[in-house]
Structure 1
């Protein structure tokens, strides 16, 4: 499946790794990064709107969709590595500076790109996550059950891959069902495309999550110790997880972002598909700052 009106390309970014990317529109560049368990197709509504006056770049992250899935060496799926992919991709397409929005796993990559490459990222939007270090800090007690997959995929190589492979569609489909307030937002053909992509990417998806329990935490801790913060305008859209789990999400984000707009939404996790007009408005407001 493709985003209507977008051209599909493969772009080599580093060490021979090629990303599958959809590109459409003209104007200042905006890169949109997908989350789990999805592909770049999750941006189909938002991308089509933004393409009216922006060059919109929608890659599959390394390890996902139709992008390459290199074997993990402990750094392969670090968000630092994946963020470098994004910067290299934009440059390969002729853009030294760009706005960046990410959802879920893509938001973690976007945040790392903003921290590591502040001269490249002009604006940053994060949809429905906390920074990695804060995510682990707030996950405790019985409430942590909602994030069981984080702990499963943090285990050493072998067991999580085998367990997930034994019932891949049920595992990945569980999150598509559980996290969507509006099940009609992900129609059957799109759902099938997501599940097909996930079935072919189990080792790399697990490696991505495993990195977030290891090397990604180390990178966040180093930035916290040095006081490194996001210097560009930042917009965060989140469900009200803070109220549900007992923390102040906006305060956590303010520790990372100097210029922050934090908004809660009433839709489910897949907000770019459930409430695309709300996401488009938030992104356009961000780009105007």
Structure 2
């Protein structure tokens, strides 16, 4: 499996002091940035990106700390805050010539996209989030034995040292667990692509843990301030999710509506890796959002 998306041009783009992102770019027309999730790289968007590039400028970066992007060491707890990672994305688009753009994210990338929408409402024209809840809501709905599905959230929330050591001792088993468990269609992630994801994760254990640790710390603080002050997503928002609410006992659409007054919410029948398992549905959702 190639570690590039066919037909896309690759750029290494400086976005902050000492940090550059790897980004694949193709197409022309109104821009959309696609952010990957865990435990993946920008390659998860390969099908959807090729579809959208027919009439949009499509930008697929590796997030800070992932894939071929830089992985700065965490120092003060803010290096992998979603606010920092969102600023990376805005800087990336600006360097590539786009002051306003649509933004879609999956999993961790959706949390970065969510923060970008709150922090940069004049920059993000449309927002799509795939298979997450906002951070505050995520922690609120995990309780009792149902929280076992999110064991990795609690593991990587621990202070520096132990999580990194445990994961680094068996990285393929750890990251591979999620690639296997969260897909309903194993053929959607072929063996060579699965190996590429594992290679990328193996090289990024400290930064991946730092990303998750931020979601149990500084990201909660930032989101709580926004909730308490009434800051909301001002752009049209689309959310695609598995039916977590039915499984865990909450109303996902209602939780999202509290953050996004202009919301389109739908559930999917495929697994977590929906951009690979059902790219046609994801592309259709994004096209409908951009047309609205």
Report the equivalent of 1:183. Answer: 186
Q: Distance in 2 between matches of 1:35 and 1:237?
A: 14
Number of residue pairs matched by the alignment: 289
Deviations 1:26-83 (A, max 9, x none): 1110000000000000000000000000000000000000000001121000000000
Tell me which of 72, 79, 83 is aligned to 2:82. 79
Q: What is the 5 A alignment of 1:143-162?
A: 143-162=146-165
Q: Secondary structure at the match of 2:25?
A: strand
In structure 1, the partner of 2:113 is 110
How far apart are residue 161 of structure 1 and its match? 0.3
Deviation at 1:191, TM superposition (A): 0.4
3-state secondary structure, aligned to 1:235:
strand
Residue 97 of structure 2 is aligned to residue 101 of structure 1: no
- Matches of 2:6 and 2:277, distance apart in 1: 18
Equivalent-residue separation in structure 1 for 2:16 and 2:40 (angstroms): 23
TM-score for the superposition, normalised by structure 2 = 0.99
- What residue is the counterpart of 2:50 in the other structure? 48
Measure, in 1, the Cα distance between the counterparts of 2:10 and 2:195: 20
State yes or no: 1:285 paired with 2:288.
yes
Aligned residue number for residue 206 of structure 2: 203
Match of 2:34 in 1: 32
Q: Counterparts of 1:172 and 1:161 in 2: how far apart (Å)?
A: 13
**66, 69, 83: which one pairs with 2:68?**
66
Give the distance between the partners of 2:140 and 2:85, measured in 1 at CA.
Answer: 23
**Quick one: distance in 2 between partners of 1:12 and 1:190?**
27
Q: Distance in 1 between matches of 2:43 and 2:55?
A: 20
Name the TM-score, length of structure 1 as normaliser.
1.00
Corresponding residue for residue 22 of structure 1: 24
Q: How far apart are the structure 1 equivalents of 2:157 and 2:8?
A: 36
* Pair 1:250 & 2:253 matched: yes
Provide the secondary structure at the position in 1 that maps to 2:80: coil
* Cα separation, 1, equivalents of 2:207 and 2:59: 22
Q: Distance in 2 between matches of 1:264 and 1:158?
A: 38
Q: Aligned partners of 1:286, 1:187: CA distance in 2, in Å?
A: 29
Partner of 2:226 in structure 1? 223
- Mapped partners of 1:146, 1:208: distance in 2: 19
* RMSD, aligned CA: 0.4
CA distance in 1, matches of 2:22, 2:96: 13
**Could you tell me how far apart the structure 2 residues matched to 1:190 and 1:10 are?**
22
Measure, in 2, the Cα distance between the counterparts of 1:252 and 1:285. 22
Does residue 89 (structure 1) correspond to residue 92 (structure 2)? The answer is yes
Shift of 1:219: 0.3
CA positional deviation for 1:258: 1.2
> How far apart are the structure 2 equivalents of 1:187 and 1:7?
23
Partner Cα distance (1:258, 1:91) in 2: 27
Question: How many Å apart are 1:15 and its aligned residue?
Answer: 1.0
